[in-house]
């Protein structure tokens, strides 16, 4: 199954954070926060403007992004977890 986000929405797969600190301390799974960076899997068609035209999104599939902590809706597709969020919840593109 594939998911195509609508309008200004983006489908993001969270990137896993390392479970070990720089000094070698292992962080247990239950005390880790969910990461706020991910990879864009799919994007919608863009913003609908008042004059009826569509403005394309700035992010594209494959971009690594930072997003707001509570910026999306969690969905599960084919056993894999994703987030669906509006593009304005994305803080920046990692380069």
Structural domain includes residue 85: yes
**pTM of this prediction?**
0.76
Tens digits of residue pLDDT in 57-95: 899 999 999 998 887 888 888 888 899 999 989 999 988
Write the CATH number for 43: 2.30.33.40
Structural domain includes residue 81: yes
Tens digits of residue pLDDT in 17-59: 655 556 666 655 544 556 688 999 999 988 888 898 888 889 9
Structural domain includes residue 24: no
Number of structural domains found in the chain: 1
d(CA 83, CA 12): 5
Structural domain includes residue 56: yes
Give the pLDDT band of residue 1 (cuts 50, 70, 90).
low
d(CA 33, CA 2): 28
Structural domain includes residue 23: no
* Domain around 59: 9-15+35-94
């Amino acid at each position: 199954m594939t998911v195509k986000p609508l309008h200004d929405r983006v489908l993001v797969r969270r990137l896993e954070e390392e479970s070990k600190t720089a000094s070698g301390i292992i962080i247990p799974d239950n005390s880790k926060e969910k990461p706020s960076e991910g990879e864009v899997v799919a994007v919608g068609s863009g913003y609908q403007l008042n004059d009826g035209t569509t403005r394309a999104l700035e992010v594209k599939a494959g971009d690594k992004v930072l997003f707001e902590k509570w910026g999306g809706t969690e969905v599960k597709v084919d056993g894999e977890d994703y987030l669906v969020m509006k593009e304005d919840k994305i803080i920046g593109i990692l380069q």
